[in-house]
Amino acid sequence: MKLTDYLSFIDAPIDWAISTLWTLQLIDSKFRDPAFGGVTDLGALLGDPNSMEVIVPIETIEERIAAATDNQINMGHLFYRYPSERGMQKSLNISFYDDAKYRFSKMFQRWIDWSIPPSPMRAMKPLSAIQRKVILTRWDYDKKTPVWQRSYFVFPNGELSYQGTGTADLVRYQLELVVVREVVHK
């Protein structure tokens, strides 16, 4: 590519994408479990016991959405490659900042604690009870207009890990959400 072609490409009337301004909306924040006294409400941790939704501002996100592997056929001195399988568990790896009361990390910690039986003697909960619908939204510069949204049914996996320093920085956590299925909007 010549320098003049490159400069005209940079000056093209394109609104370049940026990778900031994300939110994750947890649709149903109430977990029902009669064995533990009824309902655990994650939304109540955030100060709104009447809300069924929780919105978490996301600092970074890694969205594993597709993968393919290939095979090849050897025919003499030639070979042909072809796609053979789709192999990957979709997931969302998010990092988020917490507030001074650590409400977002408490919410995710309760979800994890609620999902896993407290002792080996308890039966595992069905996936339909553990999974929650989330809406991942990418916002425009104005922070009011959604650029696009994707909806998933997810459950937490792995560690809820804290990343901190000795300086006066914001409190940051990381978490993986395994995608059970994607909600297709028509």
Q: pLDDT, tens digit, for every residue of 113-144? A: 878 766 666 667 788 878 888 888 888 877 77
Q: Measuring CA to CA, which residue among 64, 42, 59 is closest to residue 51?
A: 42
Cα angle 43-49-52, degrees, rounded to a multiple of 5: 55
Report yes or no: 184 and 177 within 8 Å, Cβ to Cβ.
Answer: no
Whether the CB-CB separation of 109 and 173 falls below 8 Å is answered with no
Give residue 1's pLDDT band: very low, low, confident or very high (50, 70, 90).
Answer: very low
For residue 140, which of 129, 148, 132, 128 has the smallest C-alpha distance? 148
Ramachandran sector of residue 19 (left: φ over 0; alpha: ψ -120 to 50; beta: rest): alpha
State pLDDT tens for residues 38-86.
Answer: 566 666 555 555 555 677 888 888 888 777 778 888 888 888 887 777 7
- Decide: 166 and 49 in contact? Cβ < 8 Å: no
Burial zone of 68 (CB within 10 Å; 0-12 exposed, 13-18 middle, 19+ buried) = exposed
Q: Which residues have CB under 8 Å from 93's CB, separation 6+?
A: 61, 62, 63, 64, 174, 175, 176, 177
pLDDT of amino acid 170: 81
Give yes or no for a contact between 122 and 172, defined as CB atoms under 8 angstroms apart. Answer: no
Q: What is the pTM of this model?
A: 0.70
End-to-end Cα, the chain, rounded Å: 40
Higher pLDDT, 106 or 13: 106
Residue count of the chain: 186
Task: State residue 156's pLDDT score.
Answer: 92
